[in-house]
Chain A
Amino acid sequence: EADIYQTPRYLVIGTGKKITLECSQTMGHDKMYWYQQDPGMELHLIHYSYGVNSTEKGDLSSESTVSRIRTEHFPLTLESARPSHTSQYLCASKLGWNSPLHFGNGTRLTVT
C-alpha cells in the first residue's frame, strides 16, 4: 500500500497549458524529491526539498517549479508545457540520509 501518492497517473495536455503534478506523503518525511524518468529508464533529479519552505534544483535543468508549504505536500508546476516535457515524473520521500526512498507510482505526462 502506497504511503506516497501522486495524481494524476496519466495526463495528456496541449502545448502552452499550465499544469501541476500533485505529490503527498503520510509518513512525516522531511526530505522529498522529484525525478524525471526517460524512456531509457534513467532517473534524473529535478527538484528536492529538505523541509518546509526549502526547495532546491536538482542535477537536471528543468523549467518546472516546486513548492513546500506543508511537510506532506510537494507539488510540481509547469507554467507552459511543451512536447519536450513529455516524460514520467516520479515523486519520492525519505526520513534520513541513509534511509531508503519511498516512491509514488508516478505521473506519465504527454504534451501534444
Chain B
Amino acid sequence: GNSVTQMEGPVTLSEEAFLTINCTYTATGYPSLFWYVQYPGEGLQLLLKATKADDKGSNKGFEATYRKETTSFHLEKGSVQVSDSAVYFCALSERNNDMRFGAGTRLTVKP
C-alpha cells in the first residue's frame, strides 16, 4: 500500500540557515504530493503541493520538487526564520488511496 517516510526530528536551526526535510514515498500509481505545516495550537494547513512528476510546489519561500525517479518530495527553504518553527508533514494522495501522512518533523528555529 501507499506510505510516506519523512526525516525524523526534531530539527533545530539558527535563523537564516538552509532547511531540508527529506520525504520519500511508495505508491501504487501516480499520487499527488503535499507538504502541510502545523503551528502550535492549530490544525494542519497546506504549505504546497505538486500533482505530477517534475512539478515544483512553492509557497512562503519553501519549495519541493516531485521526483518520480527517486520517489521523493524533499522540502527546502533557503533562509529560515523564527516564525517557521512548526511541525511539517509530508503526505500523498491518489485515486482509490486516500491521503497518507508521514510522521511529522518538528522544526525549531533559534534567533
Q: How far is the CB of B58 from chain A (nearest CB, A)?
A: 15
Give the interface SS of chain B, mostly helix, strand, loop or mixed.
Answer: strand
Count of B interface residues, CB-CB < 8 Å: 24
Interface locus among B63-71, B76-84, B93-101: B93-101
Residues of B within 8 A of A48 (CB): 98
Count of A interface residues, CB-CB < 8 Å: 20
Q: Are B95 and A105 in contact (CB under 8 A)?
A: no
Q: Are B44 and A90 in contact (CB under 8 A)?
A: yes
Rounded to whole angstroms, the CA-CA distance of A40 and B104 in the bound complex is: 9
5 contacts between A and B (CB under 8 A): A6-B43, A42-B101, A98-B95, A101-B99, A106-B43
Which 9 A-B pairs give the minimum distances between C-beta atoms?
A103-B43, A41-B104, A98-B32, A100-B46, A103-B44, A42-B103, A43-B101, A97-B95, A105-B43
| New contact pairs (9) apart from A100-B36, A104-B43, CB-CB < 8 Å | A42-B101, A43-B104, A92-B44, A97-B32, A97-B94, A98-B51, A101-B36, A101-B44, A103-B36
